[in-house]
Each structure stands twice: as structure tokens, then as C-alpha cells.
Chain A
């Protein structure tokens, strides 16, 4: 799924790296615990989270996360957005809840990082 399709589906605003909306996303992981992201996500996946501090960007960088969606209208501060720009990690913000986001994306064919199929 294209990141631009994800943006449209989630009615999201783009906070960083608008030029990367053409990237392809196949898998997603959601968590507010960054150590869980480090333990259970896989490379090149989408991170869905309610946490908006700079550690989210650092976590995404080291775990090779491709892009991040912030849920429920949570907005990172300018330092976090600047770090995402620097690390080339696109940021989206949506009004939907974590459950809504996962449901919407799963329904459209985005798969989880666990490898399990429903």
C-alpha cells in the first residue's frame, strides 16, 4: 500500500517528509512501548503509536521503521518533527484511534509484523 493511500484512508495530515508519500508499505506494528517496537517490529514497516516524543523517531531510526502514524490527533513538537525530517522518516497524524487505524489498514490489506495471517 502506498503511504499516500494510508494518508487518504486515515484522513491524516503529513507532518514530515511529504516527498516520501510515494513509498510502499507492506507491514505495520503498533505500540506505545518503544522497547516492544525494538523487540517485535520488522524492517521497513509502518509504526502506529500514541507517543510523540523524540525517542519515537530514534526508535524508528534504529529499528529501520519506514514511516510513523500518530493517532488521536496527538502532535509531536517541532524538535521531533525536525529530527524526523533529518532522519528521513515521514510522519502522519490522524484523528482515528489506534483500534480504528489498525482496523482500517488491516481491512485494506496491510499485514502485521508477526507474519500471522487471519
Chain B
């Protein structure tokens, strides 16, 4: 399998294009012949991270790196930061305003969904500066 890496730039509040980066990433993974079940996990985790950036931050970027061993995604944003990461990891906890909920997001499942679909997850956040979410998904070793 080929390796690949790249970056997508995300613009806060750009709901028209929200999801486009994850969609492009999905296309790249399909092109590399990665199994559909793994692609689904990566796409869901990437999409939740992308939506978090678009909902909460001014801007951000999604870096991806694909090797035969794993897929690593890092989404770094210039946003308000997360005051209590442990609380944010709790299913159902959300600080999203109503208009975000009306779009079907902000139900407090974002970070839990990323965790659910990844093999490792780290969240680093500084209040007033931004948040970096990094997760990996293992690829089955070639036999």
C-alpha cells in the first residue's frame, strides 16, 4: 500500500463546505484501497473533528498521514479552547448554541464519537488559543 500525507484548511462558520475535507480524505483512502470498515471509522472521526473546528473556531487545519501501519489525523484549530476536556468527553455534554443544534450537531457526541472510532486519541487545549485533536486508527498488518 502507498503512503500519503497532506493537509486541508478549515474555515470557521463555513457550513456550506463543512465536511468537504473529510469527504476528500475518504476519497484518498478509497484510492489507496483501504478497507471500507476502516474508512468509515476514519471518516466519522475526521468529520466530527472538522465540524468541531467549523462550529467553534475561527480557522483550523486537518493534517493526515497514512502509512501501511496506521492512519494519523491531527486537527488543530484557532478556537476558544476547551476548559474541561474530561467533561467534553462525556456523551451528551455540549456548549453548542441552539443554531448549531438545529443543524443536527452540538448534541455532545463529537469527541465521544472520535474516541469510539479511533485507536488512540489525544486532546490538547489552551483556553483562548485553540485545541488540537490527534487520533490514530490502526491498519491491519499485511499477511
Residues of A within 8 A of B (CB): 32-36, 38-39, 43, 51, 53-56, 58-59, 61-64, 79, 87
Contacts and interface: CB of A to CB of B under 8 A. Distances in A.
A62 B104 contact: no
Interface of B: 15-16, 18-20, 22-23, 26, 36-37, 40, 43-44, 46-48, 51, 103-105, 107-110, 112-113, 116
Contacts of A53: 15, 103-104
Contacts of B116: 39
A38 B103 contact: no
14 contacts: A33-B105, A33-B109, A34-B103, A34-B104, A35-B110, A38-B47, A54-B18, A58-B22, A58-B23, A59-B104, A61-B23, A62-B26, A62-B47, A64-B40
Given A43-B36, A62-B47, A35 B105 contact: yes
A59 B50 CA distance: 12
A81 to B, nearest CB: 14
A58 B48 CA distance: 11
Contacts of A35: 48, 104-105, 107-110, 113
Contacts, number: 76
A33 B51 CA distance: 13
Given A62-B26, A64-B40, A51 B112 contact: no
B44 A34 contact: no
A62 B18 CA distance: 12
Nearest to B18: A55
A54 B47 CA distance: 13
A9 B107 CA distance: 32
A36 B107 CA distance: 8
B75 to A, nearest CB: 14
Closest 7 CB pairs of A and B: A58-B19, A35-B109, A34-B104, A62-B43, A62-B47, A33-B107, A51-B104
B40 A43 contact: yes
B104 A33 contact: yes
B15 to A, nearest CB: 7
A62 B103 contact: no
A74 to B, nearest CB: 13
A32 B104 CA distance: 6
Contacts of B47: 38, 58-59, 62
